[in-house]
Amino acid sequence: MMPMDATTGPRPEPGKEEGVKHAEPQTSAGGADLGSPSTSPSPAKAGAQSRNLDPHAQHAMPMDTTTGPRPAPGKQGGAPAPTHMMPDMGMAMPGTPATPHDLHAGHDMAGMTMLPFDGAYGEGSGTSRNPGNAGQMLGEHRMLGQWGVMLHGYLWGTYTDQGGPRGANMAFVESMAMLSGTRDLGTGARLQLRTMMSLEPLIGKAGYPNLFATGETADGVNPLIDRQHPHDLFMELAARVDVDAGKGSAFLYGGPVAEPALGPSAFMHRASATYEPMAPITHHWFDSTHIAYGVITAGYAAPRWQIEASAFRGREPDQYRWAIERPSLDSWSVRATWTPSPAWAVQASHGQLKSPEQLEAFRNERRTTASVQYAHGGVATLLAYSAKHKLPGRVLSAWLAEVNWDINRHDTLFARGESVANDELFPDPASPLHDQKFRVGKLEGGYAYRLPLAGPFDLALGGAVGVYAKPKALDQAYGTFPVSFSLFAKVSLAR
């Protein structure tokens, strides 16, 4: 049996695949780099493959429930070699080319084809793209009638002790569940419905301790300082329609809760941040718009590039985390993404946000971001820059670097480095440091040990240590050398 593809985007016609070249490495449906036809996978690659394998599956057919373009008829000459799918194992076997029978078998099922183009990209949050080698969103993939369904999620128990006088300790549970359904509408059109939810409001309105993090409010009066806010119950309620156009597809995405085209994929959807237990302190510079109440995005998705524009509500979520806020379209953004190969994803974006901060409603913001992601051989990285221009006010810039290394099927090392200019650390107008800009940095690294649980679930046990760089003017408030540590247990669906 062939892998089912419930994606949106152009389809190849039957009988046009024979010219596919067997040249470049291929990735599995879960994103593992399977190597060239003449090589065996490395330990890191084998570890990635093992996390996608369900030994209990009966005739499981991996499906691509992503959106985006498909190879145009007869145009796959430069695509990597397809792999032969083992029906009882539910995964592609490296080094085994597909037969002509395999290639045509998919056309016996309406709307089902091979994985998107040559695997040059994987879906991120909203309409963003990740490197193809980082994989599509892993999870349970099933066919329900004409719908290709994907379920993804995690529960992440963490204990953190944030150092210094302004630090605190706390045990908390982060969570996310995502459900999407994709189907062919006929005449070159495809529909995807998406929802993502979280029980993080149970953490409490003040969220969890995270030294030097700022953004949003717990009570509508006081800003959250040195804490990470919880995410809302509804993180996404959106739909996307793709229609074949030329060698790619024109698409329309949006909903009452969605993510506009601004910044890289949100941190919880980046392979480079898979086991980072804390949110980035630069979150409100790069991906704070990943929950926006009211979004419409229109764009064109080609196999190796994408361009898009969004209208959305610029105000960040308020302190009422269980509710859906009133949508509006008062802000805008544009983004261009380039995915030249399965190893790379490059994006640049710019947007203007109306009144993003509830406690500074008189201020608008212009935000410009650029990022480069790389994924190959069990290593996933990100390097990103953002400039946040407060209107009226100053420009605050931020740098972010992440790396995640799956050494083998059990062991992972990860790290994150950040540098950010922040003027919100002292909200009290009576403080001599109020409204002053300080550049602070954080370096956090850790280790995770992964082991399979029952069925499609994985468990990762690990910890991380963080240290900080700051000006001496902050020593009295934060201490001379604060050190933070975190311990965690993360249960994931097929991750």
| Alpha-carbon span 454 to 55, nearest angstrom | 10
Beta bridge partners of 292: 258
Token pair belonging to 464:
């991380």
pLDDT at 234: 97
Please calculate the CA angle 260-387-234 and round it to the nearest 5 degrees.
30
Residue pLDDT, tens place only, 456-471: 899 999 999 999 999 9
* Cβ neighbours around 142 below 10 Å, total: 17
**What are the structure tokens assigned to 218, written together?**
């717990």
Q: Over the stretch 77-130, which tens digit does the pLDDT of each residue have? A: 333 433 333 333 333 333 333 333 333 333 333 333 333 556 889 999 999 999
Q: What is the mean pLDDT of residues 265-278?
A: 96
pLDDT one-digit tens code per residue, 192-232: 999 999 999 999 999 999 999 999 999 999 999 999 999 99
Task: Write out pLDDT tens, residues 39-52.
Answer: 444 333 343 344 34
pLDDT at 62: 43
Helix, coil or strand: residue 474: helix
Assess whether the previous peptide bond of 264 is cis (omega < 30° from 0). Answer: no
Measured between alpha carbons, how far is 268 from 278 in angstroms, rounded to an integer?
Answer: 10
Measured between alpha carbons, how far is 14 from 275 in angstroms, rounded to an integer?
A: 42
C-beta separation of 196 from 180 below 8 A: no
| Tens-digit pLDDT profile for residues 132-162 | 998 777 788 899 999 999 999 999 999 999 9
Asked if 375 contacts 346 with a C-beta cutoff of 8 angstroms, the reply is no
Q: How far apart are CA 45 and CA 133, in angstroms?
A: 10
Under DSSP, is residue 117 helix (H, G, I), strand (E, B) or coil?
coil
Assigned fold of 121-493: Porin (2.40.160)
- Per residue in 376-387, pLDDT (tens digit) is 999 999 999 999
Beta bridge partners of 160: 170, 486
In the 8-state DSSP scheme, what is residue 285?
A: H
Give the list of residues 6+ apart from residue 413 with CB closer than 8 angstroms, or none: 404, 405, 407, 445, 446, 447
* Contact indicator for 287, 217 with CB cutoff of 8 Å: no
What is the reported pTM? 0.80
Tokens of 458: 């994985």
The answer to whether the peptide bond before residue 392 is cis (omega within 30 degrees of 0) is yes
Q: Quick one: pLDDT at residue 118?
A: 63
pLDDT, position 446: 98
pLDDT for 66 equals 58
In contact, 418 and 435? CB cutoff 8 Å: no
Residue 69 CB contacts under 8 Å (≥ 6 apart), including other chains? 9, 10, 116, 117, 247, 248, 249, 301, 302, 303
Q: Which amino acid is at 477?
A: A
CA dist 419 and 470 (Å) reads: 10
Mind listing the pLDDT tens digit for each residue in 103-112? 333 333 333 3
Closest CA to 17 of 132, 117, 148: 117
Spatial contact of 142 and 58, defined as CB atoms under 8 Å apart: no
User: What share of the chain in percent tops pLDDT 90?
Assistant: 73
Q: Where are the domains of the chain?
A: 121-493
237-254: average pLDDT: 97
Question: In whole angstroms, what is the distance from residue 482 CA to residue 66 CA?
Answer: 43
pLDDT band at 454 (very low <50, low <70, confident <90, very high): confident
- Mean residue pLDDT across the chain: 82
The mean-pLDDT minimum among 102-111, 271-280, 351-360 falls in 102-111
